Structure 1
Amino acid sequence: MSDPLEVYRRKRDFTRTPEPAGGETPDAGAARFVVQRHRASRLHYDLRFEVDGVLVSWAVPKGPTLDPSARRLAMHVEDHPIEYLLFEGVIPSGEYGGGDVIVWDTGTWEPVKTDDPRAAVKAGELHAEVHGEKLRGRLVLVRRESDDGSDAWMLLHKHDPHAVDGWDAEDHPRSVLSGRTNDEVAADPHRLWRSEAPAAEASVSLLPDPLPDEAIDALRGLGKQGTWEVFGRSLKVTNLDKVLFPGDPPVTKRELLAYAARVAPVAVPYLEGRALNLHRYPDGADSKGFWHKQRPAHAPDWLGEWDNPEADDGETTTYVVADEPAALVWAANFGALEWHPWTSRIEAPREPTYALIDLDPGERTTWDDLLVLARLHRTALDHLGVTARPKVTGRRGIQIWIPVVPGYSFDDTRVWVEKLSKTIGQVVPELVSWKWEVKERKGLARLDYTQNAINKTLVGPYSPRPAPGAPVSVPLTWDELDDPDLRPDRWTVRSVLDRLETKGDPFRVLLGAAQELPEIS
């Protein structure tokens, strides 16, 4: 065949799949190999060796192994492009091979017993010395006789210094490229391949574009006040050197504005289309704050708004709606140290889009106690098949957000969360009180289902909290509940952006994941 990738390309629609179409010039260095853990209709591992500018590939249902006594079925499949060495992401459902893919292992390899690995494959026996992060030593692939016309092979590991009895690929589930599991890639595939782009530019982030450094430089160059051009808006910013969060060193208003601008592209999807309650501390976090809900008359014309048709006399008539990143910068300049979006959207204010679980620690609740409660919720939600994610509050607590389909009332979500939490509370009654008065709780935790009510809000993802050091409410993966270094105030406005860059946004999976709430028996 003149084009070794003809079959590969014929099977794929590159307007739909993020897989690379091919076109990279092979490296002149050592030949490379990759193993991908691929959850398609069935879990399997894809073993690929660089040969003559493409990746010669086998699908291995049980995965490769270092155990020399194990024999693995390996199905020879079409050659793949070199760019597949780095492919990690989600192939859309309905497309060929639809499912999530991680780079389970990669490294270099040399053919053994031949100078022509392509001829060795054609002859039905390939010996490969691999130098990966997980796989090392001699692998052997041998074609098996088949009556059904399939190209079935056997994969084994030789008895050599790298052999390990009983070694199982499933005991080593993380990507060597990103450190993520298949679940984490499926939840938030941060990168994809643009098949139409040159290979050097094809790998792109799915996170929003970050704020250009020039915008932050412009903010740093202002005096105590001035006009800041950010996200295409002109913002009058004031008191830029005022200390808003005590600490060593303290966090000034200038630094808060810079944080708000940098995090806004990630945070706005959780705020847009929702009324916003602002917790203002114009004199800083160590002074008394107050709630501000009414959109001020001096707000710029471009700032989103919503008129509440049900407002009674004396209630808020018009709310701010943060439909664009500049709105969050405006809120920070307005002295809002906390951002609290409504659970419902402005087009249906009485229909929540999230069911909320608030794990509220008491005076006697230790951090380990709170983690026990969070993990019990994790287990219960997993058993129910419910998509949800936790986040630390930035103070002492943990919250869990559950996206729901339209049509639920706040009574519906409150009753469902109450039933779930009371079921969990029965498992550890020594940790939980159902008394609502703090003094009657005797220092125990409260599983607060009453937050599921109109205009009763929880702090938004990536919002700062009014405390020394400017801690931030940060979304988590479920696995992070097992991290011994996890703390509710672990990340601040100075550290959370680095986390976003390396780990992405664990809440991104909640966008577009609306679901019906199952019955709890």
Structure 2
Amino acid sequence: MAGAVELEVDGRAVRLSNPDKVYYPERGYTKLDIANYYLAVAPGVLRGLRDRPTTLQRFPDGVEGEFFYQKRAPKGLPEWLPTARIAFPSGRTADEICPNEPAAVLWAANLGCLTFHPWPVRRSDTEHPDELRIDLDPQPGTDFHDAVAAAQELRGLLEEYGLRGWPKTSGGRGLHVYVPLEPRWTFTDCRHAVIALGRALERRMPGKVTTAWWKEERGERIFVDYNQMARDRTIASPYSLRPRPEATASTPLRWEELGEVKPTDFDLRTVPERFADLGDLHADIEEHAFSLDRVLELYHEQDQGDLPYPPDHPKMPGEPARVQPSRARKES
């Protein structure tokens, strides 16, 4: 195994230790393969990370080993790599890295980072999201094509409320749809907006879509994971590699190709070729910024109240009892 190599990008030299170390045993992909992947898609991955506090999902021993989420900036942070201070639901704060250049992405890859999890805020304003992220998560008994059907219905729903969505694969079985926002609303507002859209989808696709937080109530439906818009919840960035045997990547799509593709079409080998041919399909997202006023009006018109938060969040105002329904019945 080679001791180290030095990669130069945009005038910066980044040391890559153990470049031959295998991270994806099924495919034989090494740390150097990962670094070269991120160099090939650098404009796209940086478009999704630039100026965003970012958590690193690190796999020091590859995808078959243990992993952890690095929220606080690691020791030995290069002086040229900026950070932003964010506040967790507990009130504690941390300085997270903001990868603003290709060298920053390579530096993180050298630490065993495969997946980047940026916050939906910019370092200039960490309290007001500028992206609404809608996670369509297939439950047991459903698959990617069910998520596609939900996304296509969501597209029309967004347009009815003056919004436009940009879809991407999650890198697994699901789909993510991003809506760029004017940074005027709180995390709570943005979470309520996703709840409203999810409830509207439930009515339009009965038996196929759900906003039920408790798994025992979801059934074989697509779950609109509204809590991905809660503070300190993040999803894989565009072009992030995922810890799956096939080395899939979370990949921006055109709406028109949703029904023609599958998640395994997009991996460490194929995405750079696609990027070279098509560029970043979401490059224009930053030219737009939409209002949530009409969707928040819908939330209040629905008059169904809030839904449970994740278990690690403090109790929130107006939140229903955070108790599993079957357990509540036994205790009553």
With the shorter chain as reference, the TM-score category is 0.7 to 0.9
SS at match of 1:326: helix
Q: Give the ranges of 4+ consecutive aligned residues of structure 1 lying more than 4 Å apart after TM superposition.
A: 310-316
Alpha-carbon distance between aligned partners in 2 of 1:435 and 1:407, rounded to the nearest angstrom: 28
1:468 equivalent in alignment to 2:253: no
Q: Which residue does the alignment assign to 1:290?
A: 68
Larger radius of gyration: 1
The Cα offsets for residues 82-132 of structure 1, whole Å up to 9 and x where unpaired, read as xxxxxxxxxxxxxxxxxxxxxxxxxxxxxxxxxxxxxxxxxxxxxxxxxxx
What's the counterpart of residue 279 of structure 1? 57
Q: Percent identity?
A: 33
Q: Does 1:491 pair with 2:270? A: no
- Label 1:278 to 1:316 Cα distance change in 2 as closer, same or farther (>3 A): farther
Q: Is the 8 A contact 1:393 1:489 kept in 2?
A: no
Question: 5+ residue gaps in structure 2?
Answer: 299-332
Amino acid at match of 2:66: K
The Cα shift of 1:313 comes to 9.1
- The amino acid that maps onto 1:322 is P
Contact (CA 8 Å) 1:410, 1:452: kept in 2 or not?
A: yes
Question: Structure 1 430/265 Cα, relative in aligned 2: closer, same or farther at 3 Å?
Answer: same
Residue 252 of structure 1: aligned partner: 30
Look up the equivalent residue of 1:491 and give its one-letter code: F
1:277-313 Cα deviation digits (max 9, x unpaired): 01100100112211111111212222222234x4699
Alpha-carbon deviations, 1:250-298, whole Å to 9, x = none? Answer: 1111100111122122221221111010110010011221111111121
Q: TM (normalized to structure 1)?
A: 0.54
SS of residue paired to 1:430? coil
Tell me which residue corresponds to 1:441: 218
User: Measured at CA, do residues 449 and 334 of structure 1 come closer, stay the same or move farther in structure 2, by a change above 3 Å?
Assistant: same
8 Å contact kept, 2:211–2:226 = no
Contact 1:306 1:320 in 2 (8 A): yes
Given that residues 280 and 291 in structure 1 are in contact (C-alpha distance below 8 angstroms), is that contact kept between their aligned partners in structure 2?
yes
Shift in alpha-carbon separation, 1:313–1:518, aligned structure 2, 3 A:
closer
| Matches of 1:413 and 1:348, distance apart in 2 | 15
Report if the CA contact (8 A) 1:352-1:404 is conserved.
yes
Give yes or no for contact 1:349–1:454 (8 Å, CA) kept in 2.
no
CA shift in 2, pair 1:269/1:434, >3 Å: closer
* Cα distance change on mapping 1:491 and 1:350 into 2, 3 Å: same
Instruction: Return closer, same or farther for 1:392/1:263 CA change in 2, 3 Å cut-off.
Output: same
Q: Which runs of 5+ in 1 are unaligned?
A: 1-221
Are residues 1:512 and 2:287 paired? Answer: yes
Q: Of residues 258, 282, 302 in structure 2, which corresponds to 1:481?
A: 258
Shift of 1:331: 0.8
Name the one with the larger helix percent.
Answer: 2
- Bigger relative contact order (CA 8 A; separation at least 6): 2
* Aligned residue among 420, 423, 430 for 2:197: 420
Distance of aligned partners of 1:362 and 1:311 in 2 relative to their CA distance in 1, 3 Å threshold: closer
Shift of 1:429: 2.1
Taking the aligned partners of 2:14 and 2:119, their CA distance within structure 1 comes to: 25
Q: C-alpha distance in 2, partners of 1:311/1:440?
A: 29
**Which residue of structure 2 aligns with residue 69 of structure 1?**
none
Task: Report the counterpart of residue 226 of structure 1 in structure 2.
Answer: 5
Distance in 1 (CA, whole Å) between partners of 2:110 and 2:277 is: 28
Q: In the alignment, what sits opposite 1:239?
A: 18
Partner of 1:302: 80
Q: How far did 1:362 drift?
A: 0.4
Shift of 1:322: 0.5
Q: 1-side partners of 2:91 and 2:2: how far apart?
A: 39
Displacement of 1:444 in angstroms is 2.9
State the match for 1:453 in structure 2. 230
Per the alignment, residue 212 of structure 1 pairs with none
CA deviation digits over 1:437-460, x for unaligned, max 9? 334423432111121122211110
Aligned ranges 1:52-451 → 2 under 5 Å: 223-248=2-27, 250-308=28-86, 310=87, 315=92, 317-451=94-228
Amino acid at match of 2:112: G
Structure 2 counterpart of 1:234, which letter?
A: A
Give the letter for the 2:136 counterpart.
L
